[in-house]
Amino acid sequence: MTRVLVDTNIVLDALTGRKPFCKNAEKIFLLAAEEKIQGCITASSITDIYYLVRKNLSEQKARQALHNLFQLVTVIDVRGKDCEQALELPIEDYEDALIATCVARAKMDYLVTRDEVFLKASSSVRVVSPAQLLEIF
């Protein structure tokens, strides 16, 4: 099965209903639910997701959102070595560098994101926008 790391911004689009992005984000999670892709997120993104959903919605909705999310995706661990290797990448944003390191180590087929820096960067993994991923599947 095709392994897709779903960047935090896509998860938040789906969970918070951010317009106009939520429709494509929801379709990506539907692909995971239908087992057409293996959706993955990094462990380091979970606290960001929780915090932002709680801030935008509520504590209860944030907890429920994480429960639902864990039913759809595989959580990719972040290792100490990943944190060190991220410092060596030519990516200014450390969080982005850490995601790139985890994507490479976990041998993801795609990274789906709306992050313009990732979309323009050359990488060992295919970086696609939500619309591009939906065209593939």
pLDDT tens by residue, 86-134: 999 888 889 989 999 999 999 999 999 998 877 676 567 789 999 999 9
Q: How many domains does the chain have?
A: 1
State if pTM tops 0.85. yes
Quote the CA–CA distance of 73 and 56 in Å, as a whole number. 22
Provide the CATH number for the domain around residue 106. Answer: 3.40.50.1010
| Segments forming the whole domain that contains residue 110 | 3-136
Chain CA centroid to CA 61, Å? 19
Q: What are phi and psi of 42, to 5 degrees?
A: -85, 150
The string of pLDDT tens digits covering residues 29-76 is 999 999 999 999 999 999 999 999 999 999 999 999 999 999 999 999
Quote the CA–CA distance of 109 and 47 in Å, as a whole number. 24
Quote the CA–CA distance of 5 and 25 in Å, as a whole number. 13
Quote the CA–CA distance of 44 and 46 in Å, as a whole number. 6
H helix runs in 34-137, sequence order: 43-56, 59-72, 80-88, 94-105, 116-120, 130-136
* Half-sphere CA count of 19, side-chain side, radius 13 A: 0
